[in-house]
Structure 1
Amino acid sequence: MSSPPKPFGTVVSNVGVNLRQYPSTDSSVVGNLSHGTEVGLHSKVHAQTIDGNSIWYLLRDEGVWVAARHVDNTGEVPLSKDVEPDAPQG
């Protein structure tokens, strides 16, 4: 199995990482990725700090967030300046 196109991330936490609706541990858990899983990364934001790391990644294909503390990235992940989690949908 080949790696996704860059930028992508590899889960480095031994217990995996939760997928969240928004970039915060207060947000709903919508899934989980296992250690070693590779996923495409769309963009990053500065949000809640986890173990000294305030970056969260938006996944390319799923529209959910992971804490960068638990994911090593490959390639340049663009900073998103206009993420508005409370914006009305539609």
Structure 2
Amino acid sequence: LPASTASPTAAAPAQSGTPDSATRFYRGRVTARGGLALRSRPDRGSQVLRVARQGETVWIYCKTNGANVDGNHLWYLLADGTWAWGSARYIDNIGPAPRWC
């Protein structure tokens, strides 16, 4: 499968909202006013799985290239109980930038 549609094999964060200690996750904060649509693929036309609130801290598994959003083509694969893609344009990294998928 292409990287943009492949499902990760690592364990998702535990239900408590913290990542599995065996897997490297990154953190980010949502900056989109009104919330950020988290999608099934890294493009604006894909299904919205949920909406992350402005200011919400999210767990990031990796990044990939996707549809351009306001000049930014990077998308983050988030692991917050549901694997979903969020545009990096509206997520500020907390700590190091995520690895490539």
TM-score band, normalised by the shorter chain? Answer: 0.7 to 0.9
- Matches of 1:11 and 1:29 in 2, distance apart? 16
Provide the aligned length of Structure 1 versus Structure 2.
Answer: 78
Deviations 1:28-75 (A, max 9, x none): 011101100001000000110000000000012421100011110122
Which residue of the partner structure matches residue 83 of structure 1?
none
From 36, 50, 69, the counterpart of 2:89? 69
Q: Secondary structure at the match of 1:64?
A: strand
Which residue of the partner structure matches residue 68 of structure 2?
49
Deviation of 1:4 (Å): 5.5
Return the TM-score normalized by structure 1: 0.79
Deviation of 1:7 (Å): 1.3
**Structure 2: tracts of 5 or more residues without a match:** 1-16, 20-24
Deviations 1:10-29 (A, max 9, x none): 00111110010010111001
- Structural RMSD (CA): 1.7
Return the TM-score normalized by structure 2: 0.71
**Structure 1: tracts of 5 or more residues without a match:** 81-90
Q: Aligned AA for 1:63?
A: W
Q: How does 1:1-90 map to 2 (within 5 A)?
A: 7-61=26-80, 62-74=82-94, 75-80=96-101
Runs of 4+ in 1 over 3 A off after TM superposition: 3-6
Identity %: 32
- Matches of 1:66 and 1:76 in 2, distance apart? 14
- Matches of 2:88 and 2:97 in 1, distance apart? 13
Q: Secondary structure at the match of 2:54?
A: coil
